């Protein structure tokens, strides 16, 4: 840290999310600055570093994390690269904000759980940023208050304008629905115990070979049933909604953050084009919360355990999807570090 106590952050992966986080740390939030950027595409890393005073570009995460001035790490490389980056951070006992998913499979998530326990303290916050979205925070507070009674059903809608190139059926579950897995566990304070997946006839706008949309159904250990529409080729914009159906009422979020306009015989608001715009404030609040906690020497937010649980639910979800069967989720016993 600098004399002023500003946290020196290395950002690993400078693609869409990584570059946005570099901007956020440099221009939006307080208490941190970017000292290193790392990308296998070294030209990209160099271009980003060139715009930030004192920032050095690297091609190898391990080399960057050993550099002076690196107090903490933000991992924004693709999911399959997260395990190596986290293990490199653990080797220097550095705090990490790791973009979701923690890892895309259970075996690697378990290895990380074990590695963090060997360190003896929590080091990781997983980037499930919906927990920092003001609307989700409000919904959770209402459910926790008990004013609506016991939650019975949760309906989630998760629509992207178009699927990124190369997106697969499995990624619809372990990359996109991963958010609903986390937010369901958090909102309800319940564990997901089984997953089923239904695939209607694909939209004519779905990329060749992608089942889109899909309907994913979770059962929980508190007896709730949760459905998630994941529709990656919705075309008209990016929309994320959630509705809780409880014994004494219902509550719904995500209908619009904008004003409603009446003009030219039409009524309505706007739909954001993508997640960067829809969740801008949540990303800011997430990274600020991580920096603040790290400067206090604390680790808060979604843990490696939460990341592991989502990996296990994802694995069950991909099996449910490919085999067409309801699949139970198997979790190891929750270690003491995460209770």
Ligand X SMILES: O=C1[C@@H](O)[C@H](O)[C@@H](O)[C@H](O)[C@H]1O
Paired tokens of 64 = 């960057």
Q: Closest separation between CB of residue 62 and ligand NAI, Å?
A: 10
Among the listed residues 313, 157, 126, the one whose alpha carbon sits nearest the alpha carbon of residue 241: 157
53-82 binders of ligand NAI (CB under 6 A): 61, 76-79, 81
Q: Say how many residues touch ligand X, by CB under 6 A.
A: 5
Calpha distance 133→19 (Å, rounded) = 21
* One character per residue 111-140, x = contact with ligand NAI (rule: CB under 6 A): ----------------x-x-----------
* One character per residue 142-171, x = contact with ligand X (rule: CB under 6 A): ------------------x-----------
Strand partners, 157: 229, 241
Q: Is residue 176 involved in binding ligand X (CB under 6 A)?
A: yes
Q: Say how many residues touch ligand NAI, by CB under 6 A.
A: 25
Q: Which residue in the shown chain puts its C-beta closest to ligand NAI?
A: 15
Stretch binding ligand X (CB under 6 A), from 52-60, 84-92, 138-146, 175-183 = 175-183
CA of residue 113 relative to chain centroid, distance:
18
Stretch binding ligand X (CB under 6 A), from 172-180, 197-205, 217-225, 286-294 = 172-180
Q: Closest separation between CB of residue 160 and ligand X, Å?
A: 5
Q: Is residue 175 involved in binding ligand X (CB under 6 A)?
A: yes
* One character per residue 259-298, x = contact with ligand X (rule: CB under 6 A): ----------------x-----------------------
Site residues (vs ligand NAI, CB under 6 A)? 12-18, 38-41, 44, 61, 76-79, 81, 99-100, 127, 129, 175, 275, 279
> Which residues of the chain form contacts with ligand X (CB under 6 A)?
160, 175-176, 179, 275
């Amino acid at each position: 840290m600098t004399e002023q106590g500003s946290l020196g952050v290395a950002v690993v992966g400078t693609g869409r999310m990584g570059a946005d986080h570099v901007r956020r740390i440099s221009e939006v939030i307080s208490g941190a600055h970017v000292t290193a950027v790392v990308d296998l595409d070294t030209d990209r890393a160099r271009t980003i570093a060139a715009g930030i005073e004192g920032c050095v570009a690297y091609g190898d995460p391990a080399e960057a994390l050993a550099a002076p001035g690196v107090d903490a790490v933000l991992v924004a490389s693709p999911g399959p690269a997260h395990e190596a980056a986290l293990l490199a951070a653990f080797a220097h006992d550095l705090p990490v904000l790791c973009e979701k998913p923690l890892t895309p499979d259970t075996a690697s998530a378990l290895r990380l759980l074990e590695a963090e326990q060997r360190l003896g303290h929590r080091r990781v916050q997983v980037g499930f940023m919906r927990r920092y979205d003001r609307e989700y925070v409000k919904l959770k507070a209402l459910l926790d208050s008990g004013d609506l009674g016991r939650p019975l059903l949760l309906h989630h809608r998760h629509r992207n304008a178009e699927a990124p190139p190369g997106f697969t059926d499995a990624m619809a579950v372990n990359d996109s629905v991963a958010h609903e897995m986390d937010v369901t566990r958090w909102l309800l304070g319940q564990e997901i115990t089984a997953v089923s997946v239904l695939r209607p006839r694909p939209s004519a706008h779905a990329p060749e070979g992608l089942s889109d949309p899909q309907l994913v159904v979770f059962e929980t250990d508190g007896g709730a049933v949760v459905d998630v529409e994941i529709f990656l080729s919705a075309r008209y914009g990016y929309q994320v909604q959630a509705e809780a159906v409880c014994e004494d009422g219902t509550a719904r979020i995500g209908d619009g953050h904008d004003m409603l306009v009446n003009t030219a015989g039409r009524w309505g608001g706007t739909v954001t084009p993508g997640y960067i715009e829809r969740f801008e404030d949540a990303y800011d609040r997430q990274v600020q919360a991580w920096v603040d906690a790290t400067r206090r020497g604390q680790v808060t937010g979604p843990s490696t355990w939460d990341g592991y649980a989502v990996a296990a639910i994802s694995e069950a979800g991909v099996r449910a999807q490919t085999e067409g069967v309801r699949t139970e989720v198997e979790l190891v016993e929750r270690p003491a570090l995460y209770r």
